[in-house]
Amino acid sequence: MATEIITQTEGNAVTSPSPIDLPERNLPRVDSPVEEGDLKQSGTIVERPAKEENSIEQGIQAKRPEAKVRRVIDEEGGTTTASYPHYLPVWDHGEKYPPWEPFEHTEHGKDADPSFKDLLVEGTKLQHLTPTTGSEVTGVQLSKLSDAGKDQLALLVAQRKVVAFRDQDLADLPIQEALDFGGYFGRHHIHPTSGAPEGYPEIHLVYRNGGNGEFESFLANRNSSVAWHSDVTYEEQPPGTTFLIILDTPEVGGDTAFVNHVEAYNRLSPALKERLHGLTAVHSGFEQADFSRSRGGVVRREPVKNSHPLVRTHPATGEKALFVNGGFTRSIDGLKKEESDYLLKFLVDHIGRGIDYQARVRWAPKTVVVWDNRVTSHSAIVDWVTGERRHLARITPQAERPYETPYVAETK
């Protein structure tokens, strides 16, 4: 990031490490370094009294009386050409949240009508991007869906892994209305190191203004911007049905790619599938928090690590998926270090190279992409050099604690 690379994460923190700042595989990258990017750090933090109130249910634990607040709008000189300036990131160093408490997740896709009659209504067009992974839909307005339609949305996304909906109005609604829509699918996650629109910490922002030679600097130290990850899997209850709303996008470039972890699991030999069952792996958010602190960024909630099954079962489809990602999965419980490192490297490489079970979504104004974070990983593709802004807002409902079901021998 070269220190100039600006934010992103179709997944995570606006303040997060760059690939070049992190060691190789043994200390995996923090979420999507490319997606999360970082805002320029130098000389742009302003001081102001912290807000007194907070509307978030979890509550702000403590506020320093004079907390630093950093705003992109200030860094852009007080004016901006952003299409949605109220969505520009703000980091309030006084914002602190207590640890998450477990909650009971309701999986709306589980009993949804598989005919999708309340979602894919007359006039809707659905096209698959690849046979196994990814679809594109026109003719549906997500914000207008009935509860039955939302249930079917959760199921469709679980089946297709990622679905791009065109011509959406979520970005144009008041932020709270967009949050109310997304809150149907689970408790809103608040990212520990992310900037957010002022007053809406549940919104995770992906932001890159594309200027100042940031890409040249970024790619000077690595060969590719691809950084596969699933979002915040260190949480006890990581996200499920997840939404990314485009606000500004390059005309060409800045696509997001997705990998289907169900298909990645299906490609393994029966012998390896059987061996992976019963194993758990550690997912950690500590490196992300450390990185943010080291760069003067915020840490809004103290980091956690959790062990999750290597093979998880989706509650709506019953499908099994590899639950491993290069962003946060650190080690396999019960294995010695070399064993763990080699097996994790194989699994992460297997996921990353499977272009025959990946899909690439091209952004366009008013597109909303919905993916199931339980059964996918994703990466932004940093390939445009035009200086165009890339700005997205993520709504991140948390889901169930990952669980596994017994291995079932395959019939020949």
Shortest distance in whole angstroms from residue 31 CB to Fe ion? 6
Stretch that binds Fe ion, among 6-14, 137-145, 191-199, 304-312 (CB under 5 A): 6-14
Among residues 4, 21, 35, 400, which is the contact residue for Fe ion, using CB under 5 A? 35
Nearer to Fe ion, 30 or 145 (CB): 30
Stretch that binds Fe ion, among 11-19, 159-167, 174-182, 314-322 (CB under 5 A): 11-19
Shortest distance in whole angstroms from residue 190 CB to Fe ion? 15
Total residues contacting Fe ion by CB under 5 A comes to 6
Q: Are 380 and 228 in contact (CB under 8 A)?
A: no
Shortest distance in whole angstroms from residue 288 CB to Fe ion? 12
Q: Are 162 and 255 in contact (CB under 8 A)?
A: no
What are the tokens at 307? 């062990």
203-218 as b/e: b if 16+ CB within 10 A: bbbbbbbbeeebbebb
What CA–CA distance (Å, rounded) separates 200 from 175?
A: 8
Nearer to Fe ion, 149 or 240 (CB): 240
Stretch that binds Fe ion, among 33-41, 66-74, 261-269, 277-285 (CB under 5 A): 33-41
Nearer to Fe ion, 11 or 19 (CB): 11
What are the tokens at 334? 């019960």
For Cα atoms 350, 355, 361, give the angle at the middle one, nearest 5 degrees. Answer: 125
CB atoms under 10 Å from CB of 93, counted, come to 20
Shortest distance in whole angstroms from residue 149 CB to Fe ion? 26
Strands 256-260 and 376-380: antiparallel
What are the tokens at 326? 């290069």
Shortest distance in whole angstroms from residue 229 CB to Fe ion? 6
Among residues 11, 195, 254, 297, which is the contact residue for Fe ion, using CB under 5 A? 11
For residue 7, give the DSSP letter. Answer: B
For residue 86, give the DSSP letter. Answer: G
The 200-239 contact track toward Fe ion, x by CB under 5 A, reads -------------------------------x--------
Nearer to Fe ion, 32 or 306 (CB): 32
Shortest distance in whole angstroms from residue 350 CB to Fe ion? 19
In the β-sheet with 329-332, what is the strand arrangement from edge to edge? 305-309, 280-284, 329-332
Binding site for Fe ion (CB under 5 A): 9-11, 32, 35, 231
